[in-house]
Amino acid sequence: MSSKKGIHFEVSERKILLRILDVIAALGGLYIIGHSFEFDYFTITKENWTWSVVLGVYLTIFGSVFELYDLQKSSQLDTVFRNIILTASITVLVYLLTPIITPFLPVNRLQIIYFYIAIIGSIFLWRLAYIAFFASPRFYKKVIIIGEISNIENVVKSISESDPNYKIIGFVNSEKSKLETVTFKGLIEYLPEDLPRIIKTKNVSELVVAITNPNNITAQIYNQLTLLLEQGLTIRDYTQVFEEITRRVPVQFVGRDFYKYFPFSRSNQNKLYLLYHRAMDIVFSIIGIVFGIILSPFIIVGNILGNRGPLFYTQKRIGKYGKSFKIIKYRTMIKNAEKGGISWAVENDKRVTTFGRFLRNTRLDELPQFINVLKGEMSIIGPRPERPFFVKELSRIIPFYETRHTIKPGLSGWAQVNSRYGSTVEDSLNKLQYDLYYIKHRNFFLDINIIVKTLSTIVYYRGQ
């Protein structure tokens, strides 16, 4: 076995790297212009260290909002440049408007331009280096999948779409050969006895075992895995890789040993966390209701002109422990939208009015739900509450679907900020995987992450 190892950063490591080096690049750029030009608005000294900390915090927060740390987008130069401009613009604006914890505005206003350009230029130069080096093949993690041929396509698709630097170079079919063989044309298929040679010549750093039926592990594959493990090769279970990369729980791989996959977060029973969560719900719902009252005249006028009918509508939804409640929303569809029967809401649904589409894209249609949050029927963060008809149908088709009802439904959630319209059973399965990940890992930082991603959804007009 070759001792040569490829250089690879995991998903979390790359996101941390982007955050830290963005801040270092910005501070480095400001330090350079401070010594090269007549620029004294922002100086990096021991006495003024708080200025650098505040700038770093602002950059990190607004960089998250404007998707600077999205790994798919971070490899696209045009998207990166746009997001850097947006992040720097809002960061500089907020920085200038908080002079209590930042420097007072300079007498020479031209220094603000220097400040702004230095941040944009330095981060952009560092991101050019990232795209040229860190997003290059030398940093790819080369992987071989071992699993049933029937699952290979889904395994490859889910991993490749989530981490562009995780390169699957081939697979080994674990199923015993049959008279009618099935082939998969998307990847090279290797024989078990070829693994040592392929791993050495292709510089493979990891084997991923994606076998749903343990009986499909042949003696030959088992012996090869044991030998490779003894030689120091990393061998991981697909469910572990899937959850780590996609931030979803692969329910389709969960069987009778489901308890291994659902060691739900201790936060679900932590009284301090639950107290914080309820306090957050109350504070945000009061702010949301006040904001809704301020906007209500504009929404009422828009409804009269664009919707021509009732302003509100209520609908029965399933909440915590399967209890039903009535959700309150601004009406976005035509009157009697379901006179032909209950149906999925789809993207570009013709039943949605012009003004209703605006309300949905900006998520303003959900403002009345702050009343549900204040009443304790919903939370700010959690799985979206679904209608009883769909819950019954999906619970019959998708395993563990009702597990999402172990916590309160939410205005926003991990599934909402990571996926789009759910108009099919496959979409519902995808969203369930995100919901279960949140239930399994929910904590203060994940909640903050969801809030930031929700702001991104609103900023980029991606509401549903």
Q: How deeply is 199 buried, as exposed, middle or buried, from its count of CB atoms within 10 A (0-12, 13-18, 19+)? A: buried
Q: Cα separation of 274 and 265, whole Å?
A: 12
% of the chain at pLDDT higher than 90? 33
Per-residue pLDDT of 369-395, as tens digits, reads 999 999 999 999 999 999 999 999 899
Lowest mean pLDDT of 9-13, 211-215, 347-351, 352-356, name the range: 9-13
Residue 252 inside a domain? The answer is: no
Residue 382 and residue 302 share a domain: yes
Per-residue pLDDT of 74-88, as tens digits, reads 878 888 999 999 999
- Is the pLDDT higher at 207 or at 338? 207
Reading phi first (left if > 0) and then psi (alpha if -120 to 50, else beta), residue 363 is in: left
- Is the pLDDT higher at 377 or at 163? 377
Residue 174 and residue 98 share a domain: no
Q: What is the CATH number of the domain that holds 230?
A: 3.40.50.11060
Amino acid at 138: R
Length of the chain: 464
**Residue 231 near residue 224 (C-beta atoms within 8 A):** no
Q: Cα separation of 305 and 294, whole Å?
A: 19
Residue 407 inside a domain? The answer is: yes
pLDDT at 346: 64
Q: Cα separation of 369 and 384, whole Å?
A: 12
Residue 414 and residue 329 share a domain: yes
Residue 430 and residue 292 share a domain: yes
Residue 235 and residue 172 share a domain: yes
Residue 419 inside a domain? The answer is: yes
Domain of 353 in residue numbering reads as 266-459
Residue 340 and residue 448 share a domain: yes
Q: Which of 107, 134, 161 is the last residue of a domain?
A: 134
Residue 92 inside a domain? The answer is: yes
Residue 78 and residue 18 share a domain: yes
CB < 8 Å & 24+ apart, contacts of 73-81: 74/18, 74/127, 74/130, 74/131, 74/135, 75/131, 75/135, 75/164, 77/128, 77/131, 80/124, 80/127, 80/131, 81/124
**Which one-letter DSSP state was computed for residue 440?**
H
Mean pLDDT of the chain: 85
Residue 421 and residue 348 share a domain: yes
3-state secondary structure of 345: coil
Q: Which of 134, 149, 172 is the last residue of a domain?
A: 134
Lowest mean pLDDT of 150-164, 249-263, 299-313, name the range: 249-263
Residue 321 and residue 433 share a domain: yes
Q: Which of 216, 246, 276 is the last residue of a domain?
A: 246
- Is the pLDDT higher at 266 or at 35? 35
Decide if pLDDT at 4 tops 60.
Answer: no
pLDDT at 2: 47
Residue 438 inside a domain? The answer is: yes
Residue 117 and residue 149 share a domain: no
Residue 261 inside a domain? The answer is: no
Residue 195 and residue 306 share a domain: no
Q: Cα separation of 423 and 414, whole Å?
A: 18
pLDDT at 3: 46
- Residue 77's closest CA among 24, 132, 133, 14? 132
Residue 451 inside a domain? The answer is: yes
Number of domains into which the chain is organized: 3
pLDDT at 258: 62
Per-residue pLDDT of 44-64, as tens digits, reads 888 888 999 999 999 999 998
Residue 364 inside a domain? The answer is: yes
Average pLDDT over residues 197-211: 89
| Token pair belonging to 120 | 């944009």
Residue 104 and residue 224 share a domain: no
Decide if pLDDT at 256 tops 60.
Answer: no
* Torsion angles phi and psi, residue 17, rounded to 5: -60, -45
